[in-house]
Amino acid sequence: MPTVTVKMSASQHARLKREAKKRSTSQSAVLREAFDKMEHSSASTKMSFVERAGHLIGCLDGPGDLSLRSKEMKGYGESRHP
């Protein structure tokens, strides 16, 4: 496995050491896992909003079509300032 040298602040290094000790693993393993998570999360950002929020669709009550309340919506979105 290739070796990489990483420079980090003293506070970052302290956090890394604490995390490795908490998990009873090496600092390298903690960094590899963080790197893998970063790669996975960047792939999930390519999802559309509907894909990411799909579990929320249909969780609220109300008219499915706001045009049913068109009289109440009169003037909505227009500037309040003349």
Question: Which tens digits make up the pLDDT trace of 14-56?
Answer: 999 999 999 999 999 999 999 888 877 665 567 788 888 888 8
Residue 19 domain flag = yes
Residue 64 domain flag = no
Q: For residue 4, is pLDDT > 70?
A: yes
Q: For residue 6, is pLDDT > 60?
A: yes
Residue 60 domain flag = no
CB proximity list for 19: less than 8 A, separation 6 or greater = 30
* Other Cβ atoms closer than 10 A to 30: 19
Cα separation of 56 and 63, whole Å? Answer: 16
Residue ranges making up the domain that contains 31: 7-51
The tally of domains found in the chain comes to: 1
Residue 72 domain flag = no
Residue 66 domain flag = no
Please answer whether residues 20 and 26 qualify as being in contact, where contact means their C-beta atoms are separated by less than 8 angstroms: yes
Q: What is the biggest distance separating any 2 CA atoms in the chain, rounded to whole angstroms?
A: 67
- Say which range, 1-5, 12-16, 59-63, has the weakest mean pLDDT: 59-63
Residue 11 domain flag = yes
Residue 15 domain flag = yes
Q: For residue 11, is pLDDT > 90?
A: yes
Residue 69 domain flag = no
Q: Helix, strand, coil: what percent of the chain each, to 5?
A: 55, 0, 45
